[in-house]
A and B are shown apart, each in its own frame.
Chain A
Amino acid sequence: MYCEVHTLIEFSQVSKKYSNGTVALSDVDLKIDDGEFVFIVGASGAGKSTLIKLILREEKPTSGKVSVGGRNISSMSRWKIPKYRRSIGVVFQDFRLIPNMSAYDNVAFALRVTDVSSKEIHRKVPYMLALVGLASKARCKPDELSGGEQQRVALARALVNSPSLIIADEPTGNIDPELSYEIVDLLNEINKLGVTVVMVTHEHNLVAHFNRRVVTIDKGRIVGDTEKWEAAVL
């Protein structure tokens, strides 16, 4: 059976220079296919976060073109950005949960912004919390949850809108090493459902363990792009 693979994310000759003169990315060419699981690795200040910001359309490239789902997002007008972001699930190192909302409300919030009916919210949120193993902690506030649990709430929030792409920016940076594997395992399971996962990390053990495509960035340039972890690149 022949299965056609589409490019989901494409960077063509992308450079990004900030107003303070810092060159974050230089002539980056990168293609990520639909359904892939990609680790983006690199030292601090290498340009990983800028790459994520460009995908999220938080920043615009100074030159070049960033396309997501065949759409040039560099020229996207501001009012279209919210709708575009709803197609992406994002997980951050610091979880970014709203502190005065319960786990349930944090997940429900991502649905509310997309104008989903209350009935649909009541149906989807418990399902998502159960999926990440937090059904019993739905009423807990973020400060009543452990780091790993908070990250799982963030993951449920990222998944609840059924995105085609999950961006995970150092999702294991603030949690215990043994729990890190659980989080990436979850991302792995999500990827098996056909969701593209782009995960930024600098934890070599994790990258080596999961044996997926690895894109290495150094000083704003892609210096390595391998189908699996090669210790020499870092």
Chain B
Amino acid sequence: MRISSFFYLVGQGARNLWKNRLMSIASIGVLISCLLLIGAAVLASVNINSMMGYLEDQSEAVIFLDDELSDEQVESVRKSILNSGNVVTITFVSKEEALKEMMESIGDDGVLFEAYSEDDSNNLPDTFRITLDDVSKLSGTIVYLQNLEGVSSVSAPTEVAETITGLKKIVTIGGLVVVAILIAVSLMIIGNTIKITVFSRRKEINIMKYVGATDMFIRLPFFVEGVLLGLVSAAVAYALLYFGYGYLSQWIESNQNDWLAMIVTSLVPFSSVSMALLRGFLVGGVGIGLAGGALFLSKHLKV
């Protein structure tokens, strides 16, 4: 194919968009709606997962150490704890600090425990407080920690961990199912829109075949149209989602109450998902445009 023919066909595809503007607007509208729904579902899923992550970070396990451990032994236990591979933060809380904390938490009556401040009378143990990377592996980590030399016992919120793990699974699977359903429905709607576009131009395609146009010659303008429709729809859907998400974030921040406070702290910034979303939109929009041209034209090319 000549370069001039190629550019003629590309130009033809762009012109067809304008000539069939009513169908183009309908296609863009459908594609934008589908991409927006999918994008919103992805953002919701990412945010719910982030909230779960926030709850996960809040769940703390406490490791009680044996009495009379030397500084070297304590340091050795710390290293062993970190070696478990599932620890994000680790804080050493000495028996003195523990007592002080307890007295502070009780308030004015805390003075009653002042007598225990003497070295020998403080029966509280030294502890390590850890936050976990993955709470779903909590039981395995507890077993590992309990068997460490110098550790007397481990206290961990196993029930909370199980609940969070279960919720995370539901959110992840539910999110995937919702997105998959939306993608399937979108493909069906877009498929039908493309079918109508192709059907409305079947005579044109038929004429092209009679004057000896190759399949590629007929397909190329449709591909160009599909790609342009996909690009425009992806850009508009991305912009709408960007501004919509920004507006929602601002609203949540300015209307804070107890439960919204948790959302605000764990709200995923748009910038952290923007590139993945834009990539997905572009690949999805352009891919659907191309696939539409490839799939639904074939029937009319068999002349």
Listed in ascending order, the chain A residues whose CB lies under 8 Å from chain B are 56, 58, 79, 82-86, 90, 96-100, 109-110, 112-115, 117-118, 157, 161
Contacts and interface: CB of A to CB of B under 8 A. Distances in A.
Residue among A58, A112, A161 with most chain B CB within 10 A: A112
A113 B217 contact: yes
Contact of A58 (B203, B207, B303): B303
Given A58-B303, A96-B203, A115 B212 contact: no
B302 to A, nearest CB: 9
Contacts of B209: 82, 85
Nearest to A89: B211
A94 to B, nearest CB: 9
B204 interface: yes
Contact of B211 (A58, A79, A117, A157): A157
Interface residues of B, number: 20
Contacts of A161: 211-212
A96 B303 CA distance: 15
Contacts of B271: none
B4 interface: yes
A34 B93 CA distance: 105
A70 B215 CA distance: 25
Contact of A115 (B1, B19, B204, B210): B1
Residue among A85, A86, A157 with most chain B CB within 10 A: A85
18 contacts: A56-B210, A58-B303, A83-B212, A84-B212, A85-B209, A85-B211, A96-B203, A96-B210, A109-B211, A110-B211, A113-B208, A113-B214, A114-B212, A115-B1, A115-B2, A115-B5, A118-B4, A161-B212
Nearest to B214: A82
* Pairs A-B, 9 closest by C-beta atoms: A86-B212, A85-B212, A113-B213, A110-B211, A82-B214, A82-B212, A96-B207, A100-B19, A90-B210
B206 interface: yes
A112 B10 CA distance: 13
B8 interface: yes
Contact of B204 (A58, A79, A90, A98): A98
Interface in B112-141: none
Interface string B194-221: 0000000001101111111111010000
B207 A82 contact: no
Residue among A82, A97, A110, A114 with most chain B CB within 10 A: A82
B215 to A, nearest CB: 8
Nearest to A106: B207
A112 B212 contact: no
Contact of A117 (B4, B212, B214, B303): B4
Nearest to A90: B210
A99 B4 CA distance: 23
Contact of B8 (A58, A86, A112, A114): A112
Interface in B139-153: none
A219 B213 CA distance: 33
Residue among A79, A113, A161 with most chain B CB within 10 A: A113
A98 B15 CA distance: 14
A110 B2 CA distance: 15
Given A79-B214, A157-B211, A161-B212, 19 more contacts: A56-B210, A82-B213, A82-B215, A85-B211, A85-B212, A90-B210, A96-B203, A96-B207, A96-B210, A97-B207, A98-B204, A99-B204, A109-B208, A109-B211, A110-B212, A112-B8, A113-B213, A117-B2, A161-B211
